[in-house]
Amino acid sequence: MSEGGNGERRERLVKLGSATAFLAIVAVAVLVVVSQSGSDGGDASSIEGAAEVRAELRGIPQRGLVLGDPEAEVTLIEFGDLQCPVCKVYSEEIVPQLIESKVRGGEAKLAFRNFAFIGEESVDAAAAAIAAGEQGRGWDFVELFYRNQGAEASGYVTDEFLTAIAAGVGVAGIEKWDEARQSDRVVDQVAAEIAAAEDLGLTGTPSFVIEGPLVDGQDVLGTPGEAGPLEDAIEDVA
């Protein structure tokens, strides 16, 4: 082929290369769009937020479902149902503020109690959280569950889903956790926590209750829509 012919052919092929580059960029855009079309929660195969939860709780002691310095004189108790969508909002927007302002510094500890009233799935989830608490991952479990919560009573709280959450928060002894969550002891504890909520006259979740040196027993704080009133209550009873 002549030199001019070679030049033309090369020019044509470079144009083809440009078109290839354009198509490749379109292909990447399609991949990104497909990747972004994520699930709506409740999917055992796509547990998200483990790193966020780990960062939120890093360095704070946990015992059972109690988060914070065991010596803290004030205890803020959240009665929640892991299936409750409002609790999820609190978990993502209000609880992190409380952890940073009052729990991390040791001013108060935060206890999660199961007011599992939405249905049998809530009881299963509550037992799984308590069992995770026995291995030092209770709050991690609660927080990661909320971040992956599905639609209420839709059947997503399966053994597979609960196991994925437990594995996601680093429960080391999954078999031990599995046995514990199905044990009469833990199931009875869930029932006792529900009964405690009812005895306090709570009617919904999340509901907050406080204990401290300046409180005789427990004060019911209800469901304030922001962290401020809860922070004030901690200061008031300290």
Partner 1 sequence: MRVPAEGTLRAAATFVATLGVGVAAYIAIAEADGGAPACFAGGGGCETVAASSHSELAGISVAAIGIVGYVLLLGAALLRGDGARLAGFGLALIGFGYSVYLTWLELFVIEAICQWCVASAVLMTTLFAVAAARMLAYVGTEP
Q: Closest approach of Cβ 96 to partner 1, in Å?
A: 14
Contact 182, 128 (CB under 8 A): no
Contact 65, 77 (CB under 8 A): no
Please state, in angstroms and rounded to a whole number, the distance separating the CA atoms of residues 6 and 36. 45
Please state, in angstroms and rounded to a whole number, the distance separating the CA atoms of residues 155 and 162. 12
Contact 234, 107 (CB under 8 A): yes
- Interface with partner 1 (CB under 8 A): 6, 9-14, 16-17, 20-21, 23-25, 27-28, 31-32, 34-35, 38-39, 43, 45-48, 50-52, 54-55, 164, 167-168, 170
CA 110 to chain centre: 15
Reduced to 3 states (helix: H, G, I; strand: E, B; else coil), residue 131 is helix
Tokens coding 104: 């991390």
- For partner 1, the closer CB: 11 or 120: 11
Q: Closest approach of Cβ 63 to partner 1, in Å?
A: 22
Q: Closest approach of Cβ 42 to partner 1, in Å?
A: 12
The position carrying tokens 């030049």 is 7
- For partner 1, the closer CB: 66 or 132: 132
- For partner 1, the closer CB: 29 or 220: 29
Q: Closest approach of Cβ 52 to partner 1, in Å?
A: 6
- For partner 1, the closer CB: 52 or 152: 52
Q: Closest approach of Cβ 192 to partner 1, in Å?
A: 32
- For partner 1, the closer CB: 6 or 203: 6
